[in-house]
Amino acid sequence: MSMLDVDHINIAYKNKPTVTDFSMHIEKGQIYSIVGESGSGKTTVIRAIFGMLPGGGKVTGGSIVFEGESLLTFSRERWRLFRGKDISMIFQDSGAMMNPTKRVGSAFIEYIRTHEAVSKEEAFRKGVMMLERMRLPSGENIMRSYPFQLSGGMRQRVGIAMGMTYEPKLLLADEPTSALDVTTQAQIVRQMMELRENYGTSLIVVTHNLGVAAYMSDHIIVMKDGKIEDEGDRDYILYHSGNAYTHKLLEAVPSIGGRRFV
Ligand SMILES: Nc1ncnc2c1ncn2[C@@H]1O[C@H](COP(=O)(O)OP(=O)(O)O)[C@@H](O)[C@H]1O
Ligand SMILES: [Mg+2]
């Protein structure tokens, strides 16, 4: 049994099969990537793990077990306590997820107060501490800013800070660097890798960029048309796979910061 065991899941939207026979097993401190072109089912898989499939989406077969507990049987209340604490998720543009008319601080305070009964002042202080831990200087100023006043990279650091508030064992990231320029992308990639060093966090990173996946992960799953097309450790995917689709993705890897990631 691993920390997270996803076994042979099928996922459908309104009874239309979308993901077929997907399995993955991740241990504490491992970094996994799921890569594949747009529409291959990457987001669907991690939303299923996070119990947050959009309306009409349903896991129709298989099992998802985290530390021995079946996530597929969780009640709404159990999810509320679990999400953010044991597993967190960050998105492509964390800033876009925030209400543009609300300051970062009020979103952060609200997030903390859905997880623990603390005063607004205490939640504010905790938010500032998390921002500074994620190397955002002057956390208080950031708490008082509106999302549009921050750069994309800063907004993504805010997203990571929120996601890490309770030091989850597993962080899910859906295209966390895709909205960023290449320099900022490299900084966020490194910051996510440091989460494992500093907190022992496991990561599942969804990306259409095999270069990012190859740079940061131990294990890579290549998806195509809702199925696993290829998978293996980083070295296998980069240098030993004979899969034609994997080769096609490797050829499409852009260079980052003047040098190729792989
Ligand atoms: N809410 C939804 N309702 C119906 N179909 C969806 C929904 N979300 C995604 N899909 C379909 O599921 C497939 C996989 O989508 P997605 O998981 O978003 O792929 P990826 O993240 O790899 O781009 C696509 O064909 C997409 O159109
Ligand atoms: Mg997606």
Name the residue of 10, 13, 204 whose CB sits within 8 Å of the most ligand 1 atoms, as the mutation to test its pocket. Answer: 13
Distances in Å between the Cα of 228 and the Cα atoms of 110, 128, 196 are 38, 41, 26
Mean pLDDT of all residues in 182-211: 94
Does ligand 1 lie within 6 Å of residue 40's CB atom? yes
Could you tell me the pLDDT band of residue 255, with boundaries at 50, 70 and 90?
low
Residue 33, CB-side half-sphere exposure with 13 Å CA sphere: 26
Please report the sign of the dihedral spanned by the C-alpha atoms of residue 168, residue 83, residue 57, residue 65: positive
Distance from CA of residue 258 to its chain's centroid? Answer: 26
pLDDT digits (tens, 9 = 90+) for 129-148: 999 999 898 999 999 999 99
Name the residue of 15, 34, 43, 44 whose CB sits within 8 Å of the most ligand 1 atoms, as the mutation to test its pocket. Answer: 44
For the chain, state the CA radius of gyration: 18
Which residues neighbour 93 within 8 Å (Cβ) at sequence distance 6 or greater?
Answer: 152, 155, 156, 179
Atom of ligand 1 at shortest range from CA of 13: 4
Q: 257 pLDDT exceeds 80?
A: no
Mean pLDDT of all residues in 173-187: 91
Report helix angle 104-115 to 152-164, nearest 10: 20
Could you tell me the pLDDT band of residue 99, with boundaries at 50, 70 and 90?
confident
Q: 256 pLDDT exceeds 70?
A: no
Which residues neighbour 8 within 8 Å (Cβ) at sequence distance 6 or greater?
Answer: 21, 22, 23, 61, 62, 63
Domain boundaries, the chain: 90-167
Q: How far is the CA of 94 from the centre of ligand 2 (A)?
A: 14
> Within 10 Å of residue 14's Cβ, how many Cβ atoms?
9
Per-residue pLDDT at 254: 66
Distances in Å between the Cα of 133 and the Cα atoms of 30, 157, 197 are 22, 10, 14
Does ligand 1 lie within 6 Å of residue 88's CB atom? no
pLDDT digits (tens, 9 = 90+) for 13-68: 999 999 999 999 999 999 999 999 999 999 999 999 999 999 999 999 999 999 99
pTM of the model as a whole: 0.94
pLDDT digits (tens, 9 = 90+) for 59-85: 999 999 999 999 999 999 999 889 999
pLDDT digits (tens, 9 = 90+) for 150-172: 999 999 999 999 999 999 999 99
